[in-house]
Structure 1
């Protein structure tokens, strides 16, 4: 049955029920997302207790999500800004 065949009250109830379902689906996913974030924090803590720098690891994860072109652009801009501010460390071979 299409919405056009329903009374305005029934149509309103259908709309409200649809909205509630969307909200409930989002809330469920938000809850699952929080659980996943807790697991990720535990992994960073474990890596940190084994001598790895969690802050740097987060940066690496962020960089690995980028396309090669975006990563190159990011690195070039970072070097340009560092050089402009006098904080670029040049490594001689």
Structure 2
């Protein structure tokens, strides 16, 4: 075992921060944030494309939210919406 590993092990045991491990974590988070930014830009472009094709973007976003839910949750929400609309005479 080399001195660096021994020092890092001792630092970990004593509660000191390992600079190498910390740098690795920070680098990974920064890389993922950049990827997230690029993906958000791609999604924005797709919505712009949908809008230019005549689709209603807020409705598309609502469809995406619904698709993430369990079918039973969607059914319950639709039932309540129907009930509330009926109560309001809509």
On whether the aligned pair clears a TM of 0.5, the verdict is yes
What is the CA deviation profile of residues 2-49 of structure 1, one whole-angstrom value per residue up to 9, with x for unaligned ones? xxx834796235x23212211211111111111111111111111111
Report what 2:6 is aligned to. 6
* Structure 1: tracts of 5 or more residues without a match: none
Q: Does 1:16 align with 2:25?
A: no
Partner of 1:52: helix, strand, or coil? coil
Query: Matches of 2:77 and 2:23 in 1, distance apart?
Result: 41
TM-score (norm 2): 0.70
Quote the RMSD (CA, aligned, Å): 2.7
TM-score (norm 1): 0.68
Partner of 1:59: helix, strand, or coil? helix
Q: Does 1:75 align with 2:74?
A: no
Alignment of 1:13-92 (within 5 A): 15-83=18-86, 86=88, 89=90
